[in-house]
Amino acid sequence: MPKAHPPLPLEKPAPLTAEEEQYVLKTIRAYYGNDAVVRNWGPNPRRLMLHVESDRDIGLDRYECLGLLMCEIVRDQILLDASGPSGRWKQDKTAYRQGVILPTLTTD
């Protein structure tokens, strides 16, 4: 049996400003619901990497949500991954290990 790869080193995610954080939460929860858990996990400040865990599968509306984020938040690249009870993807493991959960409450 081949040897397992060593775990990826932990990297602290690039921070969001308070305004960006509020906008991300408001936008994502409008699509995925108020119980959605949003993680910021990308270490590169030029790339915003978000992971959403939710019971909802929003289908192609995911791209509309991503488009709204791209209109208001200036980054070279914004990545939005989602997982639910149906299964996990490869990047989920990294997001869970080193991601920072954004606050559960937004101020509207």
Q: Does residue 24 sit within a domain?
A: no
Number of domains within the chain = 1
pLDDT for 31-87, tens place per residue? Answer: 999 989 899 988 899 999 998 988 888 888 999 999 999 999 999 999 998 876 555
Q: Classify residue 73: in a domain, yes or no.
A: yes
Residue 27 forms part of a structural domain: no
- 11 in a domain, yes or no? no
Examine residue 46 and state whether it is found in any structural domain, yes or no. Answer: yes
User: Is residue 21 packed enough to be buried (19+ CB in 10 Å), middle (13-18) or exposed (0-12)?
Assistant: middle
CA angle 5, 40, 90 (to 5 degrees): 35
Which stretches of 1-108 are assigned E, i.e. beta strand?
37-40, 47-53, 77-83, 100-101
pTM for the model stands at: 0.78
Q: How far apart are the first and last CA of the chain?
A: 54
In this structure, are residues 73 and 46 in contact, taking their beta carbons and an 8 Å threshold?
A: no
Answer whether residue 25 is part of any domain. Answer: no
- State the pairing for strand pair 77-83/37-40: unpaired
- Tell me which residue range forms the domain holding 77: 42-101
Does 92 reside within a domain?
yes
The answer to whether position 20 is within a domain reads no
